[in-house]
Amino acid sequence: MIINEIETKTEQVIEVGKRMMQAARTAPKGKGVDHLELIIITGDDINVLADYMEKSVEKHGRKFFFRDAANIRLAQAVVVLGTRLTNMNLNCGYCGFPTCAEKDLHEGLPCAFPLNDLGIAIGSACATAADNRVDTRVMFSAGLAAKELGWLGGECKVAYAIPISATGKSPFFDRTSTRPE
């Protein structure tokens, strides 16, 4: 049997994506409480995500979503990591208030721990991708789009996407700037 790498590339990248989700799930979390929501997007759903990103520019005016959508279309898969924002009741002060009770008086202010845990999970997922020689880029834009599409469930409040690719050159490196000159 002869197997050409091109024939198995997408399958291999998806397997790495699954390992990335496992690394995120097993990453350390405050008080050992897991608030993560994890998905992998493949196939035609990648274009659904990119299309949504492009359409959403009219709503919020973030032109870099066009550039990021083009990058998403070049990925073989997209791993999305999100978190629910639950108060951890640690009175740590990281939110800017000395106690959780004082923070709770300010509606909408999230507890810092689920957000920190999400960051650690993203780092673990990206390290796994690097260990498997798969190119990545962490994207707020695609994470927001996946969240707005409802793909992470209604309780997920913050999400980041990690498009993954295995090509001769990373499609996530030389990107056209959307910033004014």
- Alpha helices by DSSP H, listed for the chain, are 5-26, 44-60, 64-73, 100-104, 112-131, 140-148
Instruction: Map out the domains of the chain with their CATH numbers.
Output: 15-165 (3.40.109.10)
User: How high is the pLDDT of residue 26?
Assistant: 97
| DSSP 8-state symbol, 107 | T
Q: Provide the Cα torsion 21, 26, 29, 32; round to 10°.
A: 130
Note the pLDDT tens digit of each residue in 79-118: 999 999 988 999 999 989 999 999 888 888 889 999 999 9
- The whole-model pTM stands at 0.92
Of the listed ranges 35-39, 51-55, 101-105, 177-181, the least confidently predicted one is 177-181
Helix (H) or strand (E) holding 180: none
- Roughly how many angstroms between the first and final C-alpha of the chain, as a whole number? 54
